[in-house]
């Protein structure tokens, strides 16, 4: 890329934030936004209600969020060298583009939202990913695995089954490197990585609250731990369809390749080195369960209520990761081609995503009182919940999206968390609130399954992509992934699931 092109991109990156700042400031002065916010907060305070920023935020406040998504989608195509070296700066630019006018217009309310999302969501999110990434990077599967269609199917099936018990991130990080090594001799292997993302990094996490963050949120809000096993029919249907497609597709590509078999090649038996790291993975799981079942108390940090048990969980996960680093030999990590780049890429990009996602989530949480009231009010049937939750989870954080529609379903039926918590405890939730259960199933599988629709739908997606690219596999672009894979294979599968389970 020429110097002029590089300079032009930098000028555009700088000019867009400045232009948006000017528009924001002038709009605030024109509409007297500060006064409106103050009056709105006063009215809600007099009514004994907490101030809801989502009720006053305009929909265009989500423009920076759209901007960072487009940057992730387009820059690797139009300026790959620039993106590889400067993506943290692009992420920071979009974050500041939103944060500066947001704080200027909404003051203390804005600071509270920023502290809230970073202290309660982003930092625990990154700690969990870092812990699972670090520990699983110390597990080396060695042996003469050859990536035939049958072997690939078996490996992805194992990862899918593991995902609900060690999390989609844990299963993805344990299984992705053995899959890549087994197919090092293959010419066509992009489809394997994509279907790995579909199944191991998303669909496989549907059966327990350990599998995916939305289900863990449901557990914290009253859903019993083992209720998610009722999603087995939906999970088996989607996984079954995708596994059949994978086998047929991989068999087609395998027949197109010229596989040279070396008769003098030494066959090594399968073995796992660093297996003690499974104990550290178990430690992470215990920490997550502990934070959901034990309630010690709260304290305030920068105006945000922090649960003591969650802080203990995060410190514990960091400890598990550090112990893994200490006791895992350098040779094992080198055998895994372990590097910190994938987790750093996720940390940098999601730091910007979590900042710019604030208005979108706030507006969603405001429900019928926010700028997306029409969407919330239109969601009435189970299949509505499935597609609304899923479509938004493809681009937004699927955990708060799940919680938004979870609360929407409760409100629609005039229920509270106490009602469903008591019904789950008594074991009569299905007979007592059958309509809510039909909504809950749709919300749960929509949030988990459709995180596979884009690279940003679930954090393991990006990490798997990054590891594959580090191994020399050219992955499809953001839109290429959707057009070539997720829309034809996933969306059509979800249409079938709609008619079977939610119509």
Higher pLDDT, 153 or 345: 153
pLDDT at 155 (0 to 100): 92
| 471 against 40, higher pLDDT | 471
Residue 219: name the closest of 344, 402, 93, 52 by CA: 402
Burial per residue of 220-259, b for 16 or more beta-carbon CB atoms within 10 angstroms, e otherwise: eebbbbebbeebeebbebbbebbbebbbebbeebbeeeee
Kindly report which listed range (349-358, 410-419, 454-463, 477-486) carries the lowest average pLDDT score: 410-419
The pLDDT of residue 31 = 46
Cα–Cα distance, 383 to 443 (Å, whole number) = 9
CA distances from 80 to 73, 347, 349, 465 (A): 11, 19, 16, 15
Go through the chain and tell me how many residues it has. 503
Give exposure, 282-307, as e/b (b: 16+ Cβ within 10 Å): ebbbebbbebbeeeeeeeeeeebeeb
Arithmetic mean of pLDDT, 77-98 = 87
User: Taking the chain, what is the end-to-end CA distance rounded to the nearest angstrom?
Assistant: 51
Alpha carbons 45 and 274: distance in angstroms, whole number = 56
**Strongest mean pLDDT among 24-28, 78-82, 151-155, 408-412:** 151-155
pLDDT of residue 78: 81
- Would you state the pLDDT for residue 29? 42
Higher pLDDT, 179 or 269: 179
3-class SS letters over 213-262? HHHHHHHHCCCCCCHHHHHHHHHHHHHHHHHHHHHHHHHHHHHHCCCCCC
What value does the mean pLDDT take over residues 465-472? 88
Q: Cα separation of 55 and 370, whole Å?
A: 5
Task: State the pLDDT confidence band at 28, using cuts at 50, 70 and 90.
Answer: very low
- In whole angstroms, what is the distance from residue 122 CA to residue 127 CA? 9
- Has residue 35 got a pLDDT over 70? no
The pLDDT of residue 191: 94
Angle, CA of 398, 480 and 255, to the nearest 5°: 110
- Please report, rounded to a whole number, the percentage of residues in the chain having pLDDT higher than 70: 87
Local structure of 326: helix, strand or coil: helix
Average pLDDT over residues 428-440: 89
CA–CA distance, 460 with 197 (Å, rounded to integer) = 8
What is the C-alpha radius of gyration for the chain, rounded to an integer number of angstroms? 23
What is the structure's pLDDT at 257? 81
Quick: pLDDT tens for 7-18: 444 444 444 544
For the chain, what percentages of helix, strand and coil (3-state, to nearest 5) are there?
75, 5, 20
Determine the distance from the C-alpha atom of residue 214 to the mean position of all C-alpha atoms in its chain, rounded to a whole number. 9
Q: Please report the pLDDT score of residue 501 as a whole number.
A: 94
Among 41-50, 64-73, 245-254, 402-411, the minimum mean pLDDT is found in: 41-50
pLDDT digits (tens, 9 = 90+) for 216-230: 878 877 788 889 999
* pLDDT tens digits along 89-127: 999 999 998 898 888 888 888 898 899 888 888 888 888
What is the pTM for the complete model shown?
0.77
Q: Say what the pLDDT of residue 11 is.
A: 44
What is the structure's pLDDT at 237?
96
Q: Is the dihedral of CA 315, 276, 462, 361 positive or negative?
A: negative
pLDDT of residue 397: 66
What average pLDDT does this structure show over 283-297? 85
* Pair 179, 196: CB distance under 8 Å: yes
Is pLDDT of 361 > 80? no
pLDDT at 144 over 50: yes
pLDDT of residue 3: 42
- Whether 32 shows a pLDDT value over 60: the answer reads no
Partners of 301 in the beta sheet? 304
Sequence-ordered list of residues with C-beta below 8 angstroms from that of 437, at least 6 positions apart, any chain:
429, 430
* Local confidence band at 149 (pLDDT 50, 70, 90 cut-offs): very high
pLDDT single digits (tens) 365-424: 777 777 777 777 788 889 999 999 999 888 876 777 787 788 788 877 877 778 888 888
pLDDT average, residue stretch 135-162 = 86
Q: What pLDDT is attached to residue 250? A: 94
Which segment, 157-171, 241-255, 327-341, is predicted with the most confidence on average? 241-255
Q: Is pLDDT of 45 > 50?
A: no
CA atoms within a 13 Å half-sphere pointing along the CA-CB vector of 401: 29
Output the average pLDDT for the chain. Answer: 82
């Amino acid at each position: 890329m020429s110097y002029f092109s590089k300079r032009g991109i930098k000028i555009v990156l700088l000019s867009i934030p400045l232009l948006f700042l000017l528009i924001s400031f002038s709009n605030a002065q024109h509409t007297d936004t500060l006064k409106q916010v103050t009056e709105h907060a006063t009215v809600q305070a007099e009514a004994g209600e907490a101030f809801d920023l989502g009720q006053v935020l305009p929909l265009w406040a989500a423009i920076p969020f759209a901007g960072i998504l487009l940057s992730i989608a387009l820059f690797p195509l139009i300026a790959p060298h620039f993106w590889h070296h400067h993506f943290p700066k692009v992420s920071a630019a979009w974050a500041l583009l939103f944060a500066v006018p947001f704080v200027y217009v909404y003051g203390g309310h804005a600071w509270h939202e920023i502290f809230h999302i970073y202290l309660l969501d982003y930092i625990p999110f990154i700690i969990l990913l870092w812990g699972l990434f670090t520990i699983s990077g110390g597990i080396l599967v060695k042996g003469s695995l050859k990536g035939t269609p049958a072997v690939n199917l078996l490996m992805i099936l194992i990862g899918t089954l593991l995902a609900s018990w060690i999390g989609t991130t844990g299963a993805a990080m344990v299984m992705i490197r053995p899959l890549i090594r087994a197919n090092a001799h293959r010419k066509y292997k992009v489809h394997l990585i994509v279907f790995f993302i579909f199944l191991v990094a998303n669909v496989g996490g549907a059966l327990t609250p350990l599998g995916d963050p939305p289900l863990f949120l449901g557990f914290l809000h009253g859903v019993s731990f083992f209720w998610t096993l009722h999603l087995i029919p939906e999970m088996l249907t989607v996984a079954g369809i995708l596994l059949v497609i994978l086998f047929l597709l991989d068999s087609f590509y395998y027949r197109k390749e010229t596989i040279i078999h070396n008769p003098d090649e030494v066959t090594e038996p399968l073995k796992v080195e660093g297996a003690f790291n499974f104990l550290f993975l178990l430690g992470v799981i215990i920490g997550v369960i502990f934070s959901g079942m034990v309630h010690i108390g709260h304290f305030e940090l920068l105006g945000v209520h922090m649960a003591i048990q969650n802080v203990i969980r995060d410190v514990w996960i960091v400890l598990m990761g550090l112990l893994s680093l200490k006791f895992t030999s350098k040779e094992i990590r080198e055998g895994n081609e372990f590097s910190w780049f994938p987790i750093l890429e996720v940390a940098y990009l999601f730091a910007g995503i979590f900042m710019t996602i604030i208005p979108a989530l706030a507006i969603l949480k405001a429900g019928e009182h926010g700028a997306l009231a029409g969407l919330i009010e239109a969601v009435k049937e189970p299949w509505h919940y499935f597609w609304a939750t899923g479509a938004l989870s493809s681009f937004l954080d699927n955990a708060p999206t799940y919680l938004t529609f979870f609360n929407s379903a409760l409100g629609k039926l005039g229920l509270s968390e106490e009602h469903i918590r008591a019904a789950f405890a008594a074991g009569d939730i299905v007979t007592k609130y059958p309509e809510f259960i039909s909504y809950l199933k749709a919300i749960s599988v929509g949030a988990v399954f459709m995180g596979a629709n884009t690279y940003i739908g679930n954090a393991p997606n990006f990490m798997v992509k990054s590891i594959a690219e580090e191994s020399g596999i050219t992955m499809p672009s953001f839109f290429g992934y959707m057009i070539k894979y997720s829309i034809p294979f996933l969306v059509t599968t979800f249409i079938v699931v709609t008619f079977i389970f939610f119509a």
